[in-house]
Structure 1
């Protein structure tokens, strides 16, 4: 495994914890703002952000399993870009399907997704900034 693997797993652990806290926080905020529809919107928004974070880190971690292969770079970028395409399509489909649903507050949903993305970016920056990665490449 590459030396970046522990850093990715640390980011995943912090991301899962942050996602759970955001689901609770936006569930409460949504409930206070507009009752049941706000609760559903807040939980779904923060949950989507958590799933998207896990897909990104999970795809990178999975792709690192092929580091010994001659086709590592191709496999790595194929897997990671494939997961990004899946996330993009899933986001568009979810946005279209949830656009006019009466049982959901779209504003709270949107704020939950945006907050989750910002928190995951902050986690990534902090984890990478505090990590110690060797200057030389991975030994073979």
Structure 2
């Protein structure tokens, strides 16, 4: 029998802090990406398809913001929680966002006030941009992937 304290249920402060820093960086960059896509996509969409192109691009940027920023915000809020809590929050948020997306798509189905092409192009650019931002942040982060166990203190066998 050892007198060692039980392991903490969540990540250590070092891991939690590094994880939060990584998610903050991702959140800032994704927010900038959504703004650039909304403005740039809106201008290009308007020039290509008029008012429907503008609305399609803005809707695409809005859906991208909902998914990308929502996921990172959830992970940032649960960075210091145990893995099962963070996972449950991520999956629950994903299901909620998927339901909202399906409702939105059902509401605009067959409508001509927006351009489906502009909507699609902005979403594809958002997915590619999000992948690049997240991959780069993870590869350059200082989040430990393994925490060695603490050595036993003197007098313990």
Question: Above 0.5 in TM-score?
Answer: yes
1:20 pairs with one of 35, 42, 55: 35
CA displacement 1:59-100 (0-9 Å, x = unmatched): 1111224x3xxxx23321111100010111111111111121
**Mapped pair 1:112 → 2:122:** yes
- 2:94 maps to which residue? 84
Structure with more helix by fraction: 1
2:142 pairs with one of 120, 129, 132: 132
TM-score, normalised to structure 1's length? 0.87
Checking the alignment, whether the CA contact within 8 Å between 1:46 and 1:115 is kept in structure 2 is no
> How far apart are the structure 1 equivalents of 2:41 and 2:147?
42
Checking the alignment, whether the CA contact within 8 Å between 2:45 and 2:118 is kept in structure 1 is yes
- Runs of at least 5 residues in structure 2 that lack an aligned partner in the other structure: 1-12, 151-157
- 1:53 maps to which residue? 68
Q: How many aligned positions are there? A: 135
Structure 1 counterpart SS, 2:127: helix
| 7-16 vs 99-108, which moves further | 99-108
Checking the alignment, whether the CA contact within 8 Å between 1:30 and 1:38 is kept in structure 2 is yes
Runs of 4+ that moved beyond 4 A: none
Structure whose alpha-carbon radius of gyration is higher:
2
1:102–1:56 Cα change, 3 Å: same
> How far apart are the structure 2 equivalents of 1:18 and 1:76?
25
Deviation at 1:139, TM superposition (A): 9.5
2:55 pairs with one of 40, 43, 52: 40
Q: RMSD of the TM alignment (CA)?
A: 2.0
- Runs of at least 5 residues in structure 1 that lack an aligned partner in the other structure: none
> How far apart are the structure 1 equivalents of 2:148 and 2:71?
22
TM-score, normalised to structure 2's length? 0.78
